Structure 1
Amino acid sequence: RLGHNEQKDEWQPRLVEIFQKNNMLSPSDIISAGSASSACTAGGRGQLYVWGKLKNWGDECMYPKPVRDLSGWNIRCMASGDMHHIVGAEDSCISWGLSEYGELGYGPTQKSSVNPKKVDILEGMHVTSVGCGVGMSLIVVDRANVGDKLDQLDNFDGDIDALFQ
């Protein structure tokens, strides 16, 4: 659950052995924690690892496992939500996990994805920051070089009441 290859609670912080043993983490690596799983980049952002409860069904992953689908991608930012992950890499936004409220960004037809998948509507946009919570995701993109792509998206203008009408 916590990356230590054993199913028990920890009452004090402890280094995750796989990263300590192989001296894999650097100050530029990214770490994120959701309510049921965690993720981090290692080795100069060339490899992403995840652990914890990665699916709404099945067993927990007791130790960090590499996400092979994203090997070699230049991961710029990452966040973990309730049961989903969002990554900003190169000129793509990539998401996977369980989605009940559209938090993966795939539109109304696909609710979840076991494997990392590009968010098509954001393809080609430079994602600078991401955030996740329970039932929601936030994506910040660089406005330069996106042309009229932003016009295709719903924009939040700061009026929180308008979201619930």
Structure 2
Amino acid sequence: MKKIISIMLCIMLSVSMMTACGSKESDNDKKDVGSETKQDAFTYDLKGVTVAMNENMEPLVKKLGDADNYFESDSCAFQGKDKVYTYGSVKITTYPKDNKDYVYTIELLDDTVSTPEGISIGSDKKAVEEKYGKASDSTETSYIYKKGDSQLSFIFDGDSVSSIVYNAITE
């Protein structure tokens, strides 16, 4: 079952990254993403620093300090390098745009961290519904909530949360 959940999570992340691939430029592409924390989007508080999807990562790194682990690789969805910063049990992935790096995903890695609403890995499906309401999209094994230019995904193993990922919507 965990193998199936892992595969589903990988597929969801791949699909969301691939939707960013496109060459048609629109007025939405010209918006200044990452210029400030957006009020109408999911945010995550990490070490007292509010992190929002599509936010410029450079000032965040200055506030958060050195990551416990850092990795970069060529991006398959964007021009440039994807960068991964791990702070304790939180992993932040960025995407490159206009010579800057923007927050693309925030993944909560274990039950020592939780969403601002108190949901962590191991929480039950009913608690997610009580805190977040009806999901924008759902399956038997996942709930996806959309807010502004972000989404929050919960993957379930039975009735327990097994994965929590915030994603930027970049299109």
TM value normalised by structure 1 = 0.25
Q: Which has the higher contact order (CA 8 A, sep 6+)?
A: 2
The structure whose residues are more often helix, as a share, is 2
For normalisation by structure 2, the TM-score amounts to: 0.25
